[in-house]
Amino acid sequence: MKIIHTIREIREYVREQRTLGKTVGLVPTMGSLHDGHLSLARQAKAECDVAVMSIFVNPLQFGPSEDYDRYPRNLEGDARLAETAGVDAIFAPPVHEMYPQPQMTFVDVEGLTENLCGASRPGHFRGVATVVTKLFNIVQPDKAFFGQKDAQQVRVIEQMVQDLNIPVQIVPCPIVREADGLAMSSRNVYLSPEERRQALAIYRALQAAEAMFGAGERSADAIREQVRSIIEAEPLAEVDYIKIVDLQTLSDTSLIDRDCLLAVAVRFGGTRLIDNVILRP
């Protein structure tokens, strides 16, 4: 497995693979890899000849009071894990390689970014869309693989690719969970043992929502209140949002009569966790 730090080198590597007739899959990450990331890498390797993983903690998507400086970074450990999942090359550029001068051009996806995480993290999706566009331009993959845990991100990138005619297929991949149901996240390491225990309320609440939906409940308000009651029973839980939105438009809905996303964001101490389920009538 190769570890590449410059745009010139990763472009040269991909060009070499293409001359051999190989397809390329890209797994964009910010590192601090866990089994969720590795599942994306395995999927990329299953569907493409060459799996490239980017590891880049993107400053553009962090707000001024967020955890950019303390976001976990461990390239050596990440590289070992990536290799076990079949990754052929890691693109791990320094910040000055991706942003050699102050960025003056940005990608905004309107309409899909104002709700959910976009409401509480202004500018976040502009940073995401901009860096993903740059990665697509640099690597020019055939397919790119994203985890469904960041469901809003997946939808934003799908729309961006469609609107800008970027020739890459977006492949959403299922949420990967710990044995007790907590969605895998690089930020889980921030949780204290008690916060970690109480955070399991998120998964219990989503399961309860699925059970209500399966029993025929179609009122978004009724399902949201059930989710809220379960999560807020934990004293350390601070709800950012509990939303049920149209899966395509990400706009709020009161009646679940089409494919919808139930998405939550909850803080435990200083750690913000997100999770979701798709409700399909």
Which one of 5, 34, 37, 124 is the catalytic residue?
37
In tens, the pLDDT along 220-253 reads 999 999 999 999 999 999 999 999 999 999 999 9
Can you give the pTM of this predicted structure?
Answer: 0.96
Domains of the chain and any CATH numbers: 2-173 (3.40.50.620), 186-276 (3.30.1300.10)
Please give the average per-residue pLDDT across 212-226, as a whole number: 98
pLDDT digits (tens, 9 = 90+) for 115-156: 999 999 999 999 999 999 999 999 999 999 999 999 999 999
* Euclidean distance between CA atoms 55 and 91, whole angstroms: 6
- Name the band, by pLDDT with cuts 50, 70 and 90, for residue 203: very high
Mean pLDDT, range 184-213, rounded to an integer = 97
pLDDT digits (tens, 9 = 90+) for 14-36: 999 999 999 999 999 999 999 99
Q: What is the mean pLDDT of residues 173-197?
A: 97
Task: State the DSSP code for 219.
Answer: B
Residue 196 tokens, joined? 């970690």
Per-residue pLDDT at 201 exceeds 90: yes
Nearest CA among 209, 215, 214, 187 for reference residue 264: 209
Has 96 been annotated as catalytic?
no
Token code pair at residue 210? 């699925």
Q: Given this model, what pLDDT does residue 65 score?
A: 86
- Residue 55 clears pLDDT 90, i.e. is over it: yes
Q: What is the mean pLDDT of residues 181-190?
A: 96
Tokens linked to 21:
């007739």
Give the mean pLDDT of the chain: 97
Q: What pLDDT sits at residue 188?
A: 96
Average pLDDT value for residue range 159-169: 98
Give the other-Cβ count within 10 Å of 200's Cβ.
14
- pLDDT digits over 59-90, tens only? 999 999 899 999 999 999 999 999 999 999 99
CA atoms lying within 13 Å on the CB side of residue 36: 26
Q: Which residues pair with 243 in a beta bridge?
A: 263
Q: How far apart are CA 235 and CA 172, in angstroms?
A: 34
Axis-axis angle for helices 35-47, 75-84 (nearest 10)? 50
- Is residue 281 packed enough to be buried (19+ CB in 10 Å), middle (13-18) or exposed (0-12)? exposed
